[in-house]
Amino acid sequence: MSIIQIDQLAKSYRVYQKKEGLREALRGLWHREYKEVDAVKIISLRVEPGEFVAFLGPNGAGKTTTLKLLSGVIYPTSGTATVMGYVPWERSLDYRRRFALVMGQKNQLWWDLPAQESFRLHQQIYKIEASQFQKTLDELTSLLTVRELLGRPVRELSLGERMKMELIAALLHRPEVLFLDEPTIGLDVIAQHNIQQFLKFYQAERGITILLTSHYMKDIAALCQRVVVIAQGQIQYDGSLSGIVDSFSGDKIITLQLAVGQTDAGLERFGQLEKVAMPRVSFRCPRTEVSKSLAEILSNYQIDDIAVEDPPLEETIAKLFTHVSGDNVESNAGSDAVTSKP
């Protein structure tokens, strides 16, 4: 049985349309104009126990709204959803003890107190037995290498250190489902890598189910095998990360290390030159022409080394976002794709 089940879930907001000028402001006191904004439009989704799923989409696509619905923070306009058999917006105590939500732009720790004081508060809120609390805290602080920071006020910690503390707070009660909303936002490369490695290890060890939203494609590539893309409030793709690369990237990038005395003359006929820094030359080649092009290159040039790579993942995802944000959404992503446009 799926641990997360979403059926025809929708959320809309009634937004006041304020017009410019004093006269219109006064008029708005008696005659207000409203607009219905669909944050989430009729989505259906299944997530199995132990999956690590990436939830992608452009800004305003409905990712955070969906996580808030699944966390019971807000009520849906229509549709149903269950997580571990619980209806999230009923906010039962049993459910709240079995999941956690971490938002990269929201703090759950007391700003002026050391993190260890907030952790003690969480122990009381979740009624964690003392020995289990200490064992879990020791394990998490060791994995995230922050034991020496527990007594320092949260406001004195760096952004990366605060995010580690936020993760510890979320995992103290050992949730079975974890919702992560851009947990590495604003972090430097080292902090991002550390968070990624921790999440990868912890998820593998505990077997928890994680739903992750992120705009950092390295997070997705490092952690998730399954990708769900939401745009215009609807799920437009549900499948593997490799499926996105295969379907929305028509090129490969070939990098050649030319032998001494060789020039790049004539290489432009094999594709669009990307970078020339002799003796290294990079160019784009259509996927269907890679084998043919390499055979001809090896026949006519002396090559010391060859590398064939996919284009940067960020570029491929940007193409996908552009594709699914169009007026006529038709997925060409093969069997992995789910087109939910009516």
Q: String of b and e for 244-262 (b: at least 16 CB within 10 Å)?
A: bbbbbbebbbbebebeeeb
Answer yes or no: is pLDDT of 48 > 90.
Answer: yes
Lowest mean pLDDT among 37-41, 131-135, 203-207: 37-41
Q: Report in angstroms the alpha-carbon separations of 218 from 138, 158, 166, 230, 291.
A: 28, 21, 21, 19, 28
| Angstrom distances, CA of residue 50 to CA of 224, 273, 323 | 12, 43, 30
State the pLDDT at residue 330.
38
pLDDT at 247 over 80: no
What stretch of H or E contains 316? helix 313-324
Domains of the chain are 4-244 (3.40.50.300), 250-309 (3.30.70)
- Under the banding of pLDDT at 50, 70 and 90, the label for residue 331 is very low
pTM above 0.85, yes or no: no
Record the tokens describing residue 215, joined without a space.
Answer: 């705009």
Q: What's at 131, amino acid-wise?
A: S
Spatial separation of the C-alpha atoms in residues 261 and 282, rounded to whole Å: 18
Q: What is the dihedral of CA 257, 259, 265, 269, to 10 degrees?
A: -50
Q: Mean per-residue pLDDT for 284-298? A: 90
Q: Which of 129-133, 138-142, 254-258, 262-266 has the lowest mean pLDDT?
A: 262-266
Pairwise pLDDT comparison (67 vs 243), residue with the higher score = 67
- Closest to 286 (Cα-Cα) out of 272, 274, 300, 276: 272
The answer to whether the bond into 279 is cis (omega within 30° of 0) is yes
pLDDT of residue 320: 77
The answer to whether 122 and 113 have CB atoms below 8 angstroms apart is no
In 3D, which of 290, 310, 309, 287 has the Cα closest to residue 298?
290
CA dihedral defined by 264, 268, 274, 277, rounded to 10 degrees? 10
